[in-house]
Structure 1
Amino acid sequence: MLSLPDILHICPSTKRLWVAYSGGLDSHVLLHLLAQSDLQLRAIHINHGLNPDADYWAEHCQKVCKALDVPCDIIKVKVEVAARESLEAKARTARYQAILQTITPDDVVLTAQHADDQAETLLLQLLRGSGVAGLAAMPENKGWLVRPLLGYTRAELYQYAQAANLKWIEDSSNADTRFDRNFLRHEIMPRLQQRWASVSHIISRAASHQAEANELIQELAAQDLQQCQGHKADILSLDKLSKFSAARQKNVLRFWIKKLALPSPTTKQLQQIVSNLMTAKADSQPLVSWQGAEIRRYRRNLFAMPNLPPPPSPTKTIKWLVSSPSPRLPLGNLKLTQALPSGTELEIRFRQGGEVIRLNKHQRVVKKLLQAAGLPPWQRQFIPFIYLDNVLVAIPGIAEENGWDIEWITN
């Protein structure tokens, strides 16, 4: 039975709680329950403008909140969907972005997902072939986001709403079975409930087990990453990584890529990293890339990075008056840490091949300097060469003569 004390036990102790209030049954029940407490409470309604009745829904939410004496923020967002993108996913992203821009760091947002939502989420993830992390479905507590109703079914929320004589919005799109979640909700879950009456709680419990398993997997990945981490966060040692089993290799790779805030690879792409990059010949330059990220190999190390831009033309030149900020380069920018006359004009060029630079009164071949410095081959196309009066005077971090001190800060 739904009760305020049980909900308050889940709610964190914070200065201010927000209820993500759509006007539908679930969020109305949550708002009505919490409005009976002495918590500092606000409601937030996101108007996506996707339904012809969207403005009416916003007005309804304002009226309900006024009756409950709960302040309500109505925020309009614009949802733009490109080809092959999910409208539901884009709307959710826009909604969360709007909420995060509204709340303060100490605030917590409560959403009204329940046990049936949790069961549907796990089934969706299962049908997408997700791993343990995906099958963990929705966590009850995610820092700024808390879901206090995951232990209750939709039927229990409906029973509460009927007893309290609540009036809520019915979104007609929720009945459209062209959407996967609605298909599960209206076609599959009722059949399962006929056979297993507590199916929502059963599946939600399975999600909890997956969440615990995922926590252990993440702990193992963190320990493994410590063992094979290179001298920088975006580098892994192949020699150390190869000592792990194939399953642990994939696990730590997945964890490493996520920790770098890069898009996650698919199962196929992850297998390509293990099969192609880790076993490639020493003199090869293998690459596995996907939208937003790529993994490269050099000298028994793996390197992770965002997709590189097209390399600059070898004939490209950029003028730089040292009294002005560094010009934008294809891969980062420059920082001059020495004083030069304000009228000094430098020229930035990129590698053509065959360059030499004078160091300690001797001519040095730039190709050999780059190799000796261990600069990965893909960066050699982007590293800026600094010229003064048509003479190569500095290669940041590689070769600098006569006190030149220029730092190349890559993206």
Structure 2
Amino acid sequence: MAASRNRTPPERRLEEAVAAVLAAARVAPGQAVCVALSGGVDSTVLLHILAGLRASGGYSLAAAHVHHGLSRNADAWLEACRASCDALGVTFHAFRERVDRDDPAGIEAAARAVRHAALARVPCDWLAFGHHQDDQAETLMFRLLRGAGVRGAAAMAAVEPGRLRPLLGVRRADIVTYARVRGLAWVEDESNADLRYARNLLRHRVMPLLAEHFPGAVPALARASGQFREAEGLLEDLAGIDERACGGKRLDRAALLRLSDERVRNLLRWQLRALGLQAPARTRLVEVVRQLREIVEDAHRLPLGAAACCVYRGSVWLEAESGGPEPSPVAWRGERELSWGAGKVVFADAVGAGLSRAALERAREVVLSPRWSGLALREGEGRPRRSFKNLCQEAGIPAWLRERLPVLRVDGEAAWIGEIGVAAEFRCAPGEPGLVPVWER
């Protein structure tokens, strides 16, 4: 069987590899696939193969090219991509974007961010990229040299939500062979030879030296990346188990600290990703876990980069740093939502719940406002008015969050306080139309 496979021409093996990834991703008839087309040999070959498979696959095919304007040849590359698509009967999307050459992250990172943002605007079910096995090995090396953990070392996957890398198991030499056998034309980006860029130095100096002394280096590194990806999946499963055992997203501190430091850090990293945030450096996580174990006072907000680890009344949770403007008073005139700092307050229709719509309509002035001196609220009929401080203490709202709480002030009276509730005087009666405010942080 192996001998038979080795006699298969390289160009046929590429087509089989691409078809296998499409099948693994369950690309269905009627779905739209778009190739991220740079014009280089990798994406050009991928476009050609996908064009050949679309009749049997039943999917529609397009290609998108991002013109960064960084090279004097950028216009020619765009037209070359357009010509390739025209020859194959493929819909072509061209994006002309500007890249900040002085971006603090570097011009490579800036161009990549601009490219991904442009590609995200393409209407399709799948974006297909021309990354191959040599790219995977280089990515692993590059990330390890930057101190990546298991997640970073996992590098790229052939199938991710909305993304395909059908050539990820293929060597670049086989891709070039395919292009030559098929008589394909492609462009060469002169910046790929510039050794000032770290990736180019790896590609042109380090990887050839490795291959000379370790002929199987590239496939071995690619396999290692796959094993790191499996390990990352197991760590995510463990984090989910630990979160449930500690009470959910708001973690019970005592249960959390019964875990090892390694498991606590793993859980915090996982929760940060769930918030759409990047985990900080390991040293920062180590310090936060140390403080979690040593602090005695039960009211702390420990910085974690783009988030904070909050400790209050035996609970531990993460919340994103606001990053938005300071909340300021804003009049409410029946809008469905109002901005509040980095978040918003949403008003949902209800019956017999929330604020009385009739009371709001009778009011002369309704304002969403921060707390004010002397703020108090009565939570139920026959109950005394209680101070803002007492209300927050009873609701378990830590001091650092109190200044950000939205208050709906109706003719000078507090009708609703975020995270606390509705004042008795403004509460909706059973069967009466109402509005339920929700603060989305």
Question: In the alignment, is the contact (CA less than 8 A) between 2:344 and 2:440 conserved in 1?
Answer: yes
Question: In the alignment, is the contact (CA less than 8 A) between 2:298 and 2:314 conserved in 1?
Answer: no
Q: Which runs of 5+ in 1 are unaligned?
A: none
Flag the 1:190–1:252 CA change in 2: closer, same or farther, 3 A.
Answer: same
* Equivalent residue number for residue 46 of structure 1: 66
* Equivalent residue number for residue 47 of structure 2: 31
- Higher mean Cα deviation, 57-66 or 75-84? 75-84
C-alpha distance in 2 between matches for 1:311 and 1:35:
49
C-alpha distance in 1 between matches for 2:93 and 2:413:
62
Q: Which runs of 5+ in 2 are unaligned?
A: 1-9, 348-353, 429-435
Counterpart residue type for residue 345 of structure 2? N
Question: In the alignment, is the contact (CA less than 8 A) between 2:364 and 2:411 conserved in 1?
Answer: no
C-alpha distance in 1 between matches for 2:180 and 2:335:
68
Provide runs of 4+ in structure 1 moved above 6 Å: none
Q: 1:375 aligns with which of 397, 419, 428?
A: 397
1:100 has 2:120 as partner = yes
Secondary structure of the structure 2 residue equivalent to 1:35: helix
Counterpart residue type for residue 98 of structure 2? K
- In the TM superposition, 1:194-273 aligns within 5 A as 194-230=212-248, 233=249, 235-273=250-288
Secondary structure of the structure 2 residue equivalent to 1:101: coil
1:144 has 2:174 as partner = no
1:409 has 2:433 as partner = no
- Higher mean Cα deviation, 3-12 or 236-245? 3-12
Give the C-alpha shift of residue 279 in structure 1: 2.9
Question: In the alignment, is the contact (CA less than 8 A) between 2:65 and 2:94 conserved in 1?
Answer: yes
Encode CA deviations 1:278-303: one digit per residue, 9 max, x unaligned: 4322344242142x322221112122
Q: Which has the higher helix share?
A: 2
* Equivalent residue number for residue 307 of structure 1: 321
* Equivalent residue number for residue 193 of structure 2: 175
Query: How many aligned positions are there?
Result: 402
Q: 1:193 aligns with which of 169, 187, 211?
A: 211
1:333 has 2:345 as partner = yes
Flag the 1:6–1:307 CA change in 2: closer, same or farther, 3 A.
Answer: closer
Encode CA deviations 1:103-151: one digit per residue, 9 max, x unaligned: 23xx222211111101100001101111111111111111221111122
Question: In the alignment, is the contact (CA less than 8 A) between 1:312 and 1:381 conserved in 2?
Answer: no
* Equivalent residue number for residue 400 of structure 1: 423
Encode CA deviations 1:322-376: one digit per residue, 9 max, x unaligned: 5566764436437473122445214555445665556736453432222112112
Flag the 1:55–1:342 CA change in 2: closer, same or farther, 3 A.
Answer: farther
* Equivalent residue number for residue 62 of structure 1: 82
Q: 2:92 aligns with which of 64, 72, 76?
A: 72
* Equivalent residue number for residue 295 of structure 1: 309
Flag the 1:392–1:170 CA change in 2: closer, same or farther, 3 A.
Answer: closer
Flag the 1:244–1:311 CA change in 2: closer, same or farther, 3 A.
Answer: same
Flag the 1:62–1:306 CA change in 2: closer, same or farther, 3 A.
Answer: same
Flag the 1:87–1:278 CA change in 2: closer, same or farther, 3 A.
Answer: farther
Secondary structure of the structure 2 residue equivalent to 1:295: strand
- Higher mean Cα deviation, 25-34 or 378-387? 378-387
Counterpart residue type for residue 247 of structure 1? E
Counterpart residue type for residue 376 of structure 1? P
Flag the 1:169–1:272 CA change in 2: closer, same or farther, 3 A.
Answer: same
Flag the 1:321–1:113 CA change in 2: closer, same or farther, 3 A.
Answer: closer
Question: In the alignment, is the contact (CA less than 8 A) between 2:62 and 2:92 conserved in 1?
Answer: yes
Question: In the alignment, is the contact (CA less than 8 A) between 2:299 and 2:313 conserved in 1?
Answer: no
Please give the TM-score of this superposition, normalised by the length of structure 1: 0.87
Give the C-alpha shift of residue 163 in structure 1: 2.3
Encode CA deviations 1:374-404: one digit per residue, 9 max, x unaligned: 1121221122445555555654525623244
Secondary structure of the structure 1 residue equivalent to 2:52: coil
1:7 has 2:11 as partner = no
Give the C-alpha shift of residue 71 in structure 1: 3.0
- Higher mean Cα deviation, 162-171 or 6-15? 6-15
Flag the 1:382–1:34 CA change in 2: closer, same or farther, 3 A.
Answer: closer
Secondary structure of the structure 2 residue equivalent to 1:73: strand
Please give the TM-score of this superposition, normalised by the length of structure 2: 0.82
Give the C-alpha shift of residue 194 in structure 1: 0.9
C-alpha distance in 1 between matches for 2:409 and 2:187:
68
Question: In the alignment, is the contact (CA less than 8 A) between 1:132 and 1:214 conserved in 2?
Answer: yes
- Higher mean Cα deviation, 376-385 or 75-84? 75-84
Counterpart residue type for residue 237 of structure 1? D
Q: 2:35 aligns with which of 2, 19, 23?
A: 19
Secondary structure of the structure 2 residue equivalent to 1:333: strand
Secondary structure of the structure 1 residue equivalent to 2:437: strand
Over the matched positions of the two proteins, sequence identity in percent amounts to: 31
C-alpha distance in 2 between matches for 1:356 and 1:74:
58
Question: In the alignment, is the contact (CA less than 8 A) between 2:133 and 2:222 conserved in 1?
Answer: yes
C-alpha distance in 2 between matches for 1:387 and 1:108:
48
